Amino acid sequence: MALQFEAAIPNFEIHEHHSFNLKSCNRELFEEDLQPVNGKIAVPVTPGFGMTLRKDAEKRMNIVTICEK
């Protein structure tokens, strides 16, 4: 999501690409895989966040419910 905002800032220079984004278990959660190519990441042009959560993503993750008693 930050890519769209950063692309709109004329003097923006560096986008942080965390190691979280390199793990295959995380990369497989979305239809799109926004990885740098030659040091650049293409900004999504689709509506919203520009990424689509895979339909089976929920099944791939551990679900933890936290509530107060």
- Give residue limits of the domains in the chain: 1-69
pLDDT of residue 13: 87
Of residues 19, 51, 17, 23, the one with CA closest to residue 36: 17
> pLDDT for 7-44, tens place per residue?
899 998 888 888 878 888 888 888 998 899 998 889 88
Q: What is the pLDDT of residue 21?
A: 80
Give the single-character DSSP code of 43: P
Average pLDDT over residues 46-59: 85
DSSP string of 20-42, one letter each residue: GGGSHHHHTTBS-----BTTB-P
What predicted TM-score, i.e. pTM, was given to this entire model? 0.65
